[in-house]
Homo-oligomer: A and B are copies of this chain.
């Protein structure tokens, strides 16, 4: 099991990335890591070089690089070299905390899509607040595409349902379609057609339409949407959470000693809330529909999130998720 790691991607690279790899190495001695990036910088954080190979390069993709251009022009960047290693089967999966758009492009154009999936989608596991620890739902497409057809949404349902059952261990995952109302007849042209396709797919436990306001209540284990809406929903969630937290903070700071004492007493509760909302303990976002696991964590990620993401990739490889899905599509769409 070999994972190609873009050691230079993300705000805290290579420190957070390499430290995370060191943590993951202890959990999974069966993984070999190929670390792409500046050798001297990486080496600083390698505390044990068993199963570690460093492939040196000076070039890297910046967070504000134009994605497709960056992939085409920065052929020696840590991300492109890592993707290339996956393409050439020197590694089984690609991991990066760098420029999301560039990683999507690297997944599509370097690793390559599997022929049965017309439009790979980006999927992440989001937290659910009503369930037990670790409860969540798989949300796809969260923004790999700007436009999707109904058929893509059916494919996303199949991909994410497989992931939920095989990687997260959810039995018979409930698949919901994000829509503008819960009634069966609701929807846009796109979602009305997608509803019919999802309903008719015998391999899915389709539970119908779900609304964005109920996502955190555990209405489904998989939520399918087009990439434009998925992107808007995810950014709305992020923006709202951030606005509430920063306002609560400034309101506390403005309220003098009383507020500060209150905040001190509530520290544990606020910390618990933050942890619940943090979905990085489910791992990173998967570009689903390409020939190998291509997984992204947040740019501001720390070593723990890297470790969780490597655990996630380990499970995906162990269960041979990509090859099983290829076999599934071959069987069902022949």
Contact = CB atoms under 8 A, between A and B. Distances in A.
Tell me the dominant secondary structure on chain A's binding face: helix
Nearest to A185: B66
Q: How many copies does the complex hold?
A: 2
B188 A129 contact: no
A178 to B, nearest CB: 7
Given A188-B146, A240-B216, A273 B251 contact: yes
A243 B216 contact: yes
B213 A238 contact: yes
Interface string A154-169: 0000000000000000
Nearest to A252: B269
Contacts of A262: 261-267, 269
Contacts of A245: 244
B255 A239 contact: no
Chain A, interface size category, equals: 35 or more
A229 interface: yes
A254 B266 CA distance: 11
A270 to B, nearest CB: 7
A259 interface: yes
Interface in A257-279: 258-259, 261-270, 272-273, 276-277
B258 A273 contact: no
A270 B189 CA distance: 41
- Choose among A143, A178, A240, A248 the residue with the greatest number of B CB atoms under 10 Å from its CB: A240
Nearest to A261: B265
A11 to B, nearest CB: 17
Contact of A236 (B236, B263, B265): B236
Contact of A240 (B232, B240, B247): B240
Interface of A: 129, 143, 146-147, 178, 180, 186-189, 191, 211-217, 225, 227-229, 231-233, 235-248, 251-252, 254-255, 258-259, 261-270, 272-273, 276-277
25 contacts: A129-B247, A146-B186, A146-B188, A146-B191, A147-B188, A180-B227, A180-B231, A180-B232, A191-B228, A211-B235, A212-B232, A212-B239, A214-B239, A217-B239, A225-B232, A232-B232, A233-B236, A236-B237, A237-B239, A240-B241, A240-B244, A244-B277, A255-B268, A258-B268, A262-B265
